[in-house]
């Protein structure tokens, strides 16, 4: 079980760019997550509109429709967590690197 936890920690550190501080990598990575978040919010808007239209016209969607809603919510949660964590890690690196440059 420890190996699985270690693997999960390594994956999370890789996804959040914990050990990467090069601006040419971090900035496009954060922009990618922002664009991903905007797209997921657009999909959420479409889902809400379709849910409203289905209710208005009395259409009963199947289980796949509701499963896609759950998957979309999970994707939104993961994207927001990754974006927040990546920005926190990047901010900590900026503070740390600026304090090092002041000492020199």
Per run of 10 residues, the mean pLDDT along the chain (length 104 residues) is 82 77 80 92 96 92 94 94 82 57 54
Instruction: Count how many domains the chain has.
Output: 1
Residue spans of alpha helices (H) in the chain:
2-15, 23-57, 63-103
- pTM of the predicted structure, to 2 decimals: 0.75
Q: Among positive and negative, which fits the CA dihedral 98, 100, 102, 104?
A: negative
Q: What is the pLDDT of residue 99?
A: 53
Q: Tell me, yes or no, whether 73 lies in a domain.
A: yes
Does residue 72 sit within a domain? yes
Q: Is residue 12 part of a domain?
A: no
- Domain assignment of residue 65, yes or no: yes
Asked whether residue 14 is domain-assigned, the answer is: no
Q: What is the pLDDT of residue 39?
A: 95
- Give the per-residue pLDDT at 14: 77
Print the domain residue range for 65: 23-87
Query: Two tokens at 54?
Result: 């289905």
Give the whole-angstrom CA distance, residue 57 versus residue 61. Answer: 11
In a domain, 17, yes or no: no
SS3 state at 66: helix
């Amino acid at each position: 079980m420890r190996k699985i936890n270690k693997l999960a920690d390594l994956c999370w550190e890789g996804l959040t760019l914990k050990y990467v501080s090069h601006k040419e990598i971090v900035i496009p990575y954060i922009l990618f997550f922002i664009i991903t978040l905007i797209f997921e919010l657009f999909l959420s808007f479409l889902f809400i509109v379709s849910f409203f239209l289905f209710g208005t016209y009395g259409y009963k969607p199947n289980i796949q429709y509701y499963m896609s809603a759950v998957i979309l919510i999970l994707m939104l949660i993961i994207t927001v967590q990754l974006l927040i964590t990546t920005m926190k890690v990047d901010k900590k690196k900026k503070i740390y690197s600026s304090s090092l440059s002041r000492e020199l």
